[in-house]
Structures are given as structure tokens and as C-alpha cells.
């Protein structure tokens, strides 16, 4: 155990945390500048939403593949090439925006490459943390909390950095993603020391049988976590897309000032993520309590957003409550998946969970673009009712009195 602890240096944790930070910046940093892209490229609001969605769709389908490959061949050997692909994607989108008169298609191609890179990098961190800390649930929960806090801290930085970069050159956010990816590559290469695989890799047929068995035995709570993951990302990215548009069109906030205002609810999300990760400590009863309370608060706050849109202070209060709820949920669900799946299948199951989250990321902006002009209040109330359904699923299917949830 002592030898294992020595391998997990602070720089190792920082290096792992850099990956979700970079991938979050790669997506969320573009949200506050989507109205700028709309004007500069000459595209519609729905097309600008596809700049976010194309990244996420690529991730949805490839994350489970990356999870299986990481279980079979090792985490680091999948993470490094994936970060390189994300770097190349940023260059493609950036150069297209810089040099082409009609860059939209190539921007989307670059975003798809970034999504492929994200599929093989960020989701692999969850099982990697589980591998490093092995049977120490408390340390696993704490480290996952830090990883998720890095993710959410990226969301706080995103609107500010995105606005700063775009104020200098509107396409600079694309190039910055490549720079951040390069830094993460160096950190992972030098500081992440993964445990050596002693077991012979599981054959594909045997792997599929084991995965099928897991879903059959534990499917109720696993699918509940998946559905909650889809829901919270759908709401988060839908609301961020709406908020970015509303701050300009309703409240006349632009550029860096808009970025700082947009960061307020995301800061609440980051703080809640950090506190939640520190408090759960592998305790399933605490995890279920956090999930139920957070889903109730989330349902109420999202349903109220449309009613307070015209009043900036109230809008920020309501969206900050939403951020607190989502921030508390994220590390809790990470821990549920990581701590209750055996190491051999951990990468695959956690990758299915990460893939489910990207479904919400992909769907949120285009759905909001379609409904926010005429169906905003009805849609947000519907999202609140959907949150109550998620609450009921957690109430009935997450069972902390058993050996697994």
C-alpha cells in the first residue's frame, strides 16, 4: 500500500485533472462566443449550436470503444493519442476560420476531431483513478471530487477565457484548445504512472458476456445513473446556451463583462462539486441523499428560469441554485460508477456513463435554440417535471443498504 501511495504524486493528480479541464475548455469556452461566430461566419442560431453538438456526437459513439480499449490495453496508451487528436482538431477549426471565406464545414470537421479526442481522454480518467487507489473508497471519492472540480472549474474559466480570446481574434478560442491539449499531453506523459497490468487481457467475447451480465444484475441502478447524467448535462448546456443569448439580447452584456457574469452560476457549480467530492467519502447513503436533494432543487430552479429572465439579479440567483445542484451531483455519480464496478469492466461501464452525459451535452443547445423564442417557459417547466422523474428513479433504484447501490 505504501508503494502504491508513493506512485500517486500531487503532479499525477494535477496531470489527470488537466484532462477534463482541457476538454471542458474545448467545449464550454465556445458557448459565450457563439453569437460572435454567428455574425462572423454568417450562420443561423441553430447552426452555431451545432458547433457544440458536433463535438459531443462524435464523443457519444466513440467513448464506449475507448473504454473497452483502455480496459484491454491500458489507460495511458489510449489517453495520449486522444489528446493529440484533440490538438489537431483545434488546429483544423482555427485555420479554417482564419483562412477560409466559408469555414463552417471545416469548423465542424475540426470539432468532430476534438470530439474523437475527448472520447478517448476525459472518460478514461474515472477508471484510472479507481485503478490507482484500488480498494480505498474514501481516497477514490476525494480524488474524483478533485477531478470533477477541475471539470467544473473549467466551466468557470470558459466564458471568461472565451470572451477574452474572441475579443482579440474571434477564432483564437479554437487555437487555444490546441495549446491546452499540448500542455496536458506533456503532463500526462511525464507524471502519470499507471499500474502495470498483470492479468491477461480479456477476450472480446468474454468481455461482452461480462458486460451483459453486469447490466443484467445491476442494470436498474446503472441505467438510473446514466439517465440522470443525460438529464443534468441536457439542462446545463441548454441553460448555458440560453443564458449566453439572453445576456446579450435582453441585458446588453457583451464580451468579457458577459463572460464574468456567465461565470457566476458556474462558480457555484464548481464550489458544490468540490464540497460534494470531499463529503461523500464512499458512503452510499450520503450519495443518495445528495442526489435526491440536488434533483429537487434542480427541478425547481430550472422551471423558474423563464419567469425571471428579464431581471438579471434574480436570473443569476436561480441559475446559481441550478449550478449548486448540478455541482453536487457530478462527483457523486462519478463515485457511484467508479466504486461499484470491478476493475476489469470499470473502464467500459464508466465510458458508457460518460457517453450518456455527452448525449445531454449534444442535445441541450440545439433543443434550446428551437424552443427559446416561443416555447421557453413551457420547455423549462417540462425540464423541471423531468427532474422530478429522475428524483423518483433515484429514490427507488439506488439502494444504499446493499453491497452495491
Of 282, 361, 283, 339, residue with least CA distance to 122: 361
Buried b (16+ CB within 10 A) or exposed e, 304-332: bbbebbeeeeebbbbbbbbbbbbbbbbbb
Which of 25, 379, 105, 343 lies closest to 201, judged by CA?
A: 343
**In a 10 Å sphere around its CB, with 0-12 CB exposed, 13-18 middle and 19+ buried, how is residue 71 labelled?**
buried
Structural domain contains residue 404: no
Residue 402 lies in a domain: no
93-111 burial code (b ≥16 CB/10 A, e <16)? bbbbbeeeeebbebbbbbb
Has residue 403 been placed in a domain?
A: no
405 residues of the chain, pLDDT tens digit each: 344 444 577 888 888 888 888 888 887 888 888 888 888 888 888 888 888 888 888 778 787 788 778 777 888 888 899 999 999 999 999 999 999 988 999 999 999 999 898 878 876 777 787 777 776 666 776 777 777 778 778 878 888 888 888 888 888 999 998 998 999 999 989 888 776 655 666 666 766 777 787 778 778 888 999 999 999 999 999 999 899 889 988 999 888 898 899 899 999 998 998 888 777 766 788 888 999 999 999 999 999 998 999 999 999 999 999 999 999 998 888 888 877 776 666 666 777 888 888 889 888 888 998 888 788 899 999 999 999 999 999 999 887 654 444
Residue 159 lies in a domain: yes
Position 280 scores a pLDDT of: 79
Count CB neighbours of 190 within 10 A: 11
Q: What is the pLDDT of residue 6?
A: 45
Domain assignment of residue 261, given as a range: 2-193+202-397
Closest CA to 240 of 336, 159, 345: 159
The closest of 236, 347, 367 to 302, measured between CA atoms, is 236
CATH code, domain with 43: 1.20.1250.20
Q: How far apart are CA 396 and CA 401, in angstroms?
A: 12
CB distance 329 to 288 below 8 Å: no
281 within a domain of the structure (yes/no): yes
Q: Is residue 120 part of a domain?
A: yes
Alpha helices, DSSP H, located in 169-254 = 172-191, 204-249
63 is a domain residue: yes
Using an 8 Å Cβ cutoff, are 99 and 39 in contact? no
Q: What is the pLDDT of residue 404?
A: 46
DSSP state, residue 136: -
CA–CA distance, 14 with 187 (Å, rounded to integer): 8
pLDDT score at 239: 94
Residue 278 lies in a domain: yes
Integer Cα distance of 338 and 276 in angstroms: 16
Number of structural domains, the chain? 1
Amino acid at each position: 500500500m505504501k508503494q502504491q501511495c508513493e506512485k500517486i504524486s500531487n503532479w499525477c493528480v494535477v496531470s489527470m485533472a488537466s484532462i477534463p479541464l482541457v476538454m471542458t475548455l474545448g467545449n464550454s469556452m465556445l458557448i459565450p462566443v457563439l453569437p460572435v461566430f454567428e455574425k462572423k461566419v454568417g450562420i443561423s442560431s441553430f447552426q452555431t449550436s451545432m458547433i457544440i453538438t458536433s463535438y459531443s456526437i462524435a464523443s457519444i459513439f466513440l467513448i464506449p470503444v475507448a473504454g473497452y480499449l483502455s480496459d484491454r490495453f491500458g489507460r495511458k496508451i489510449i489517453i495520449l493519442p486522444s489528446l493529440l487528436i484533440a490538438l489537431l482538431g483545434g488546429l483544423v477549426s482555427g485555420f479554417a476560420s482564419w483562412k477560409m471565406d466559408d469555414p463552417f464545414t471545416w469548423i465542424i470537421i475540426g470539432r468532430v476531431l476534438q470530439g474523437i479526442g475527448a472520447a478517448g481522454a476525459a472518460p478514461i480518467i474515472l477508471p484510472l483513478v479507481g485503478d490507482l487507489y484500488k480498494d480505498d473508497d474514501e481516497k477514490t471519492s476525494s480524488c474524483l471530487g478533485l477531478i470533477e472540480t477541475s471539470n467544473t472549474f473549467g466551466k468557470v474559466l470558459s466564458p471568461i477565457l472565451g470572451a477574452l480570446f474572441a475579443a482579440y481574434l474571434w477564432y483564437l478560442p479554437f487555437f487555444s484548445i490546441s495549446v491546452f491539449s499540448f500542455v496536458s499531453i506533456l503532463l500526462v506523459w511525464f507524471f502519470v504512472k499507471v499500474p502495470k497490468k498483470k492479468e491477461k487481457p480479456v477476450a472480446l467475447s468474454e468481455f461482452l458476456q461480462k458486460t451483459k451480465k453486469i447490466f443484467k444484475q445491476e442494470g436498474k441502478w446503472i441505467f438510473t445513473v446514466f439517465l440522470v447524467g443525460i438529464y443534468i448535462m441536457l439542462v446545463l448546456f441548454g441553460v448555458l446556451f440560453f443564458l449566453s443569448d439572453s445576456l446579450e439580447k435582453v441585458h446588453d452584456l457583451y464580451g468579457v463583462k458577459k463572460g464574468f457574469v456567465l461565470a457566476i452560476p458556474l462558480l457555484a457549480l464548481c464550489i458544490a462539486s468540490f464540497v460534494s467530492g470531499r463529503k461523500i467519502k464512499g458512503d452510499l447513503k450520503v450519495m443518495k441523499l445528495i442526489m435526491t436533494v440536488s434533483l429537487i432543487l434542480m427541478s425547481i430552479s430550472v422551471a423558474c428560469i423563464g419567469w425571471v429572465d428579464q431581471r438579471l439579479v434574480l436570473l443569476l440567483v436561480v441559475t446559481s441554485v441550478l449550478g449548486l445542484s448540478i455541482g453536487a451531483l457530478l462527483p457523486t455519480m462519478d463515485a457511484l460508477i467508479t466504486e461499484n464496478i470491478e476493475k476489469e469492466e470499470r473502464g467500459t461501464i464508466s465510458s458508457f456513463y460518460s457517453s450518456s452525459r455527452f448525449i445531454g451535452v449534444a442535445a441541450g443547445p440545439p433543443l434550446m435554440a428551437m424552443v427559446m423564442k416561443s416555447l421557453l417557459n413551457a420547455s423549462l417547466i417540462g425540464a423541471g417535471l423531468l427532474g422530478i422523474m429522475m428524483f423518483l428513479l433515484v429514490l427507488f433504484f439506488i439502494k444504499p443498504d446493499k453491497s452495491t447501490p
